[in-house]
Amino acid sequence: MDHFLYRNGHLHAEDVAMSDIAAAVGTPFYCYSAATLSRHFLLFKEALEPLPSLVCFAVKSNSNVAVLKLLGDLGAGMDVVSIGEYLRARAAGVPGERIVFSGVGKTPAEMRMALEGGIRQFNVESEPELEALSAVASAMGVAAPITLRVNPDVDAKTHEKISTGRKEDKFGVPISRAREIYARAAALPGIRVIGVDMHIGSQLTDLAPFEAAYTKMRALVEELRADGHTIERLDLGGGLGIPYTRGNEAPPLPVEYGAMVKRVLGDLGCEIEIEPGRLISGNAGMLVSQVIYRKKAEEREFLIIDAAMNDLVRPAMYGSHHDIVPLVEPPAGEPQVAVDVVGPICESGDTFAKQRAMPLVQAGELVGFRSAGAYGAVMSSEYNSRPLVPEVLVSGDHFAVIRPRPTYDEMIARDTIPAWL
């Protein structure tokens, strides 16, 4: 459930009409609902109760510092994959003890900064990384707390580009070699083994692959304990999917996911960490855009809008579906028209939807992309010299710009012309 509903004929984010925000900040813009973010975080937190747990928001899905502060103030931990994300979490006031560091390519410089600043744990993904971390930590006279990300070789049955837990994927250490690598970790001076980590993919719409992976994790924990390791923390990764199409899909709810986790892993006496991103931020955000032209070609009709693939790349990159709705509620029973919804960028891939049945929307009118709060603004670029679009946070009847739109001068001023040119 989210807080983007039509009221008095206008699409609102909580109690604010999004057309009012458009009038204030211009289009396109991202709009997030604080109540939806909080609600989704709390659903996960409650789903794991009464187990000791920490819900670590996957910062990669939405890294705006205001969003991180809102979640951090509710007690969220953060899952980061770069020191840039780490510094964002810290800037949002989240203490290092609540930040886990994931990612296949952590550099020694990043490891040092995280150890200096305070870190809950590193989720180590390879033997070379283990050696590097031990060297960095030993040089600082500390032992880095780690889990090993174990690749369970489970097919998450999601999009090819976001599946991460099969043996052909680049992530983690193979489960078949896990005991051997744990033994190596335990022997390293700068390493303190505390647990096991897995993350099998994103936008999973079925609990079965999770359950298969966690069942393998359970067996591994028992083996590792028998080998003499202290395993007190299990990081289960993120990945629970969201409905992108209203009415049609019903992925499992956090409460169902939590019940499965408790059933499979609940009696191990471990603290549970999860790293959801999309389920917390995805349906808590919309991208609002204005129609520039309605253009009739020979075969098709195009809705050319002022947002483009640089603002929301998911349709171009993964063929993802986002519901696109007018900000003014169409009269009930109004006929729908099939259109291609496209941006102004000079390539055909800049297409948000093909032959989408939509209510009639005219030039100058506003449309909103649902489910754009995760992997939206964070994946945007300035391609075609289009400045990054602003982000707005709504709470109740008020809103604030949480990242302003840069001016063209600001965008251009970042380039420098060498003296010899």
Numbered residues of the known binding site for substrate: 278, 314, 318, 347, 375
- The one-letter amino acid code at 224 reads L
Least separation in angstroms between CB 236 and ligand LLP: 9
Selected binder of ligand LLP within 172, 237, 326, 343 (CB under 6 A): 237
Contact 183, 193 (CB under 8 A): no
Return the closest-CA partner of residue 370 out of 20, 15, 21, 33.
33
Question: Under the criterion CB under 6 A, does residue 275 sit at the interface with ligand LLP?
Answer: yes
- CA 73 to CA 34: how far, in whole Å? 12
Helix (H, G, I), strand (E, B) or coil at 180: helix
Selected binder of ligand LLP within 30, 44, 122, 375 (CB under 6 A): 375
Which residues participate in catalysis according to the annotation? Answer: 346
Least separation in angstroms between CB 206 and ligand LLP: 14
Selected binder of ligand LLP within 33, 202, 290, 310 (CB under 6 A): 202
Question: Under the criterion CB under 6 A, does residue 120 sit at the interface with ligand LLP?
Answer: no
Phi first, then psi, for residue 78 (nearest 5°) are -130, 140
Q: What are the C-alpha distances in Å from 365 to residues 305, 312, 353? A: 10, 19, 18
Q: Residues comprising the binding site for pyridoxal 5'-phosphate? A: 239, 275-278, 375
Q: Is 39 exposed, middle or buried (0-12, 13-18, 19+ CB in 10 A)?
A: middle
Question: Under the criterion CB under 6 A, does residue 238 sit at the interface with ligand LLP?
Answer: yes
Least separation in angstroms between CB 164 and ligand LLP: 6
Ranges assigned E (strand) in 108-206: 121-124, 144-151, 173-174, 191-197
Choose one: 110-118, 209-217, 237-245, 248-256; the region binding ligand LLP (CB under 6 A). 237-245
| CB closer to ligand LLP out of 172 and 390 | 172
Question: Under the criterion CB under 6 A, does residue 102 sit at the interface with ligand LLP?
Answer: yes
DSSP character at residue 243: -
Least separation in angstroms between CB 292 and ligand LLP: 25
Structure tokens that stand for 233 in this block: 């923390």
- CA 407 to CA 411: how far, in whole Å? 6
Residue the block writes with tokens 């604010």: 16
Choose one: 34-42, 177-185, 217-225, 234-242; the region binding ligand LLP (CB under 6 A). 234-242
| CB closer to ligand LLP out of 203 and 351 | 203
- The CA-to-CA distance between both ends of the chain, in Å, stands at 56
Question: Under the criterion CB under 6 A, does residue 151 sit at the interface with ligand LLP?
Answer: no
Question: Under the criterion CB under 6 A, does residue 173 sit at the interface with ligand LLP?
Answer: no
Residue the block writes with tokens 């965008």: 411
Structure tokens that stand for 295 in this block: 């253009």
Least separation in angstroms between CB 197 and ligand LLP: 8
Q: Give the interface size with ligand LLP as a residue count (CB under 6 A).
A: 21
276-335 binders of ligand LLP (CB under 6 A):
276-279, 314, 318
Least separation in angstroms between CB 108 and ligand LLP: 20
Helix (H, G, I), strand (E, B) or coil at 353: strand
| CB closer to ligand LLP out of 33 and 202 | 202
30-59 binders of ligand LLP (CB under 6 A):
58
- Structure-derived torsion over alpha carbons of residues 279, 282, 284, 289, reported in degrees to the nearest 10: -170
| CB closer to ligand LLP out of 80 and 291 | 80
Task: Give the torsion sign (CA, 131, 136, 140, 145).
Answer: negative
Q: What are the C-alpha distances in Å from 357 to residues 293, 323, 325, 334, 353? A: 17, 10, 10, 12, 10
| CB closer to ligand LLP out of 4 and 171 | 171
| CB closer to ligand LLP out of 101 and 399 | 101
Least separation in angstroms between CB 153 and ligand LLP: 17
Q: Which residues contact 307 (CB under 8 A, 6 or more apart)?
A: 27, 28, 287, 289, 343, 352, 369, 389
Residue ranges that bind ligand LLP, judged by CB under 6 A: 58, 60-61, 79, 102, 162, 199, 202-203, 237-239, 275-279, 314, 318, 374-375
